[in-house]
Amino acid sequence: AAFLREAGRAYGYCESEAGCIDSWRACELPGLISPLDAAAGDVPGAESQAIVYLDWAGAALPLRSQLADAAAAVAGQTLGNPHCTGPAAFASMLAEDAARAQLLAHFCGHRAHEWDLIFTAGATSALKLVSECFPWADGSRLAFASDSHTSVIGMRGPAGAAGAGFACLPPDAPPSAWAATATHASPSVRHLAFFNNSSFSTLNRR
């Protein structure tokens, strides 16, 4: 109660269009334990099996309405492998292109045309793709923090095989130290993690 009084409307997305989370969480997230002063969800028996959910990696639970919308979208059309040919593949390609355009516009604005976006299975797959496709050369550097995830450390294999060197910096290294790891002669990569889901540390990279 003291926390809620102190936080005020800053807690629970109260300023959002959907309203405060406590007003819809019982319906949208019926598998979670409801606040003490909230009404039970509309799923019979759900409260008896409810849990407290906490994920330090920041993986949010999908809302019931999101799952319903996704299911309706898939059920309403035939989607195939976008790497094949045919009507089903073409429909998937259009959906993929639309999602890519929306994400690029959101993150890059008017410079979206300068970037490409590749969908991967996750961060580890993305790092693997970068390490295998980046134009490493003699004089390239791969810089990373000493508490980096193992998927980052694994980038050393392809980089080293192509002649790149490495720089392992303390997590609290200043920006000047990171800037000094690159060379102007060869392309280099700096991996800066804003959150480490192994040590649960949040890093300030300003």
pLDDT of residue 203: 58
Q: CA-CA distances (angstroms) from residue 102 to 99, 105, 163, 172, 190?
A: 5, 5, 37, 34, 27
What average pLDDT values come out for the chain (206 residues) when binned by 10 residues? Answer: 79 84 87 65 57 78 93 91 93 94 95 93 91 92 88 92 91 84 83 68 57
pTM of the model: 0.65
pLDDT of residue 25: 86
